[in-house]
Amino acid sequence: MNFFRTSLLLAAMTALFMGLGYLLGGVGGLVIALIFAMATNAFAYWQSDKLVLRMHNARLVNQRSHPGLYAMTQDLARNADLPMPALYVIDQPQPNAFATGRDPNNAAVAVTTGIMQALSEQELAGVIAHELAHIKNRDTLTMTIAATLAGALAMLAQFAQFGLLFRGSGDRDRSGLGIIAVIAAMILAPLAASLVQMAISRTREYSADALGAEICRHPLWLASALRKIEALASGYRNEAAERNPASAHMFIINPLTAGGIDNLFATHPKTANRIAALERLAHSELPPSSGGSQPPTAQNRGAVRRSRFPSGGRSYKD
């Protein structure tokens, strides 16, 4: 299913490229756009994960440099029956994280320094479990390709604005239709890319939350992490994300600080709704009592799906 969705995404983006090329340069523009789209698709499939990691200045870490973080990720990957992903750290005070990679054997998880400082061990485990869920669901290929292609489409629209890429015939350039086509391309191309990102993120975050809760065995760990990240993230400006907004949908929480955006175009579901879903999941998994089901509290949270993580009182602090 994910292969089909990825293929559909590539086809849709190719069609958008070609439509934009035709509007701006006629048949010649269409041919150039097709070549550009094919090259972009090939690059997106094989190299988009590396591009996104470079985009956010992520640095590869290992067991020696970050033993606690590495051990935590390794244990959670084992819980998820996944290979150990490459582990990256982003020197960024905004608490956030994302996963990337074309398949579980070529996957990476990136966390910011801010999220490691802000969250408890259990909360950070919930976040990493969420990112591993994206890998297990094979969401990362589609999400990363969407970020790369949407960014390329926005760049193409910028080229159209300045007249740097396609030049139609003199008659077309002088006609009102040509001007309207350029304006339409400038507006509709980024909008179409945003809608693609929205469709990917909104439907997949809930699934990754649920599977992430299963991987770490504690839904409330992730719920608590989301609540804390939501409260803290808006206080920090993520410059790399602001420069590359096409990658915003990859993060566990929207990294952009722009306000007043209609909920229709949000790249993430409302955090409160995600937390509520996780709390319902935790509530449904509590052991029965003589008085019936009880809400999750500080006293009974530990009863939610007793986990082998962390095991034996093991600490993951670096």
* From 121, 123, 131, 230, the catalytic residue: 131
Cα-based angle 13, 15, 19 (whole degrees, multiple of 5):
120
* Secondary structure class of 308 (helix, strand, coil): coil
123 catalytic per annotation: no
Is the separation of the CB atoms in 240 and 92 below 8 Å? Answer: yes
Helices 176-216 and 121-136 sit at what angle, rounded to 10 degrees?
Answer: 120
Cite the DSSP H helix spans in the chain.
2-55, 67-79, 113-118, 121-136, 139-162, 170-174, 176-216, 219-233, 239-243, 271-284
317 alpha-carbon distance from chain centroid: 26
Residue with tokens 């591993």: 132
Count the alpha carbons within 13 Å of 189 in the hemisphere toward its beta carbon. Answer: 30
Residues with a catalytic annotation lie at: 131
